Amino acid sequence: MFTNTYLFSSESVSEGHPDKICDMISDAILDSYLAQDPDARVACETLATTGHVTIAGEVRTRAKDHPPAADIARNVIRSIGYDQDAFSWRTVDIVNRLHTQSADIARGVDDAGNGEEGAGDQGIMFGYACRETPALMPAPIVYAHGILQNLATDRKAGILPQLGPDAKSQVTLRYRDGKPVGVETVVLSTQHIEGLSAADIKDIVAPYVMDIFPKGWAIDPNRLLVNPTGNFVIGGPDGDTGLTGRKIIVDTYGGAAPHGGGAFSGKDPTKVDRSAAYVARYLAKNVVEAGLADTCLIQLAYAIGVAEPVSVYLDLKGTGRVDPVRLAKVLREMVPLTPRGIRSHLDLARPIYAPTASYGHFGRSPRDSGSFSWESTDIADQLARAFGAIAQPVSAQSGH
């Protein structure tokens, strides 16, 4: 009998990666609108390159004053730590091209009938949960995020002054019979000050890599690949142009589950690209937390201007303990899946999005501010009771 063994990899990028700078700016601007007007409609895009940032998109708001987008962008860049010659929060040129939302889009979204809002666009969204980690997330993406988060924390605290803001990680794990059993390879590229070799950087970051994995998961030093190109002094938008929404797999499940294709950052919660992906994760996580399955994948599909999803698909990947057809029906009865219903159930019409823009939108702990409300497992007990079961909690609602 053959053992089912394989390798699986996921990557992450730091908040200083050019694309993530743009995500963070877009979500910070979104939050500034929602702080003044919870019903604001925002679709904000950002581009960053050497010495320059452009902000563009559509907005509809009742706020008396539009937030100072350029100042918000500059503060984000400063918080990340960019003060280098070719990209500094002090001197970066910022152009704001935000404009009023299309009346045609507004009409379709506002008038879906029965007092409901229609979906802001067509599209398919996925939610996923599994028992690989306490956060009910795939292990490779959790560890890839964790390495970069820990490095960024100490860099900002002044403990790692040798490192710059821009970094990427990639984690490859060994799986046996569907469960992660060890680490195979870690690739880590991090910006650094002039004069340090790849070996120097490896000595600095190795403890952070080793510390993120479970005890007993030793890694062959030859499989820890640090700054493989040998030098990474020029980083951030000075080295590569960034755009909002280019790291959607980093933002979600690291490739372990499908992605509908829509990005999240810069979009208000009437956009189902964002809100429906959040509620799909919420439902999938509660299914697994309730002990009804070890793995759960949910797909929602919407049509622009139509409130209810046109389809709901549920796949328990052969791990289910209940009828998936009945489970899908129960989930729809418990949680409304219209844009307004999702926004109300998860309390999304608040300035809660800036923290989501780096290190993943899922697998994070719900915060008092309201960020990551979709990571709550507050309906797990109700779900279990609906099937005559007792919830089997496997998460501590803690992420990376």
Annotated binding site for L-methionine: 58, 101, 240, 271
Count CB-CB contacts under 10 A for residue 185. Answer: 17
Q: Report the alpha-carbon angle 269-275-281, nearest 5.
A: 155
Annotated binding-site residues for K(+) read: 45
Tokens standing for 306?
């139509």
Annotated binding-site residues for Mg(2+) read: 19
The alpha carbon torsion through 315, 346, 261, 257 (nearest 10 deg) reads: -30
Annotated binding-site residues read: 17, 19, 45, 58, 101, 166-168, 240, 246-247, 263, 267, 271
- Distance, in Å, from the CA atom of 245 to the CA atom of 263, rounded to the nearest integer, reads 5
Residue 233 amino acid letter: V
Is residue 189 within 8 Å of residue 38, measured between CB atoms? no
Can you give the length of the chain in residues? 400
Cα–Cα separations (whole angstroms), residue 200 to 153, 190, 222, 280: 20, 12, 15, 43
Is residue 311 within 8 Å of residue 123, measured between CB atoms? no
- Distance, in Å, from the CA atom of 152 to the CA atom of 159, rounded to the nearest integer, reads 10
Is residue 147 within 8 Å of residue 208, measured between CB atoms? yes
Phi, psi of 138 (to 5 degrees): -60, 140
Residue that has been written with the tokens 């803690």 in this structure: 398
Listed in sequence order, the residues at least 6 apart from 156 whose beta carbon sits closer than 8 Å to its beta carbon are 81
Residue ranges with strand state E in 61-118: 83-84, 87-88, 93-100
Annotated binding-site residues for ATP read: 17, 166-168, 240, 246-247, 263, 267
State the sign of the Cα–Cα–Cα–Cα dihedral 190, 193, 198, 202: negative
Is residue 23 within 8 Å of residue 245, measured between CB atoms? yes
- Distance, in Å, from the CA atom of 354 to the CA atom of 369, rounded to the nearest integer, reads 11
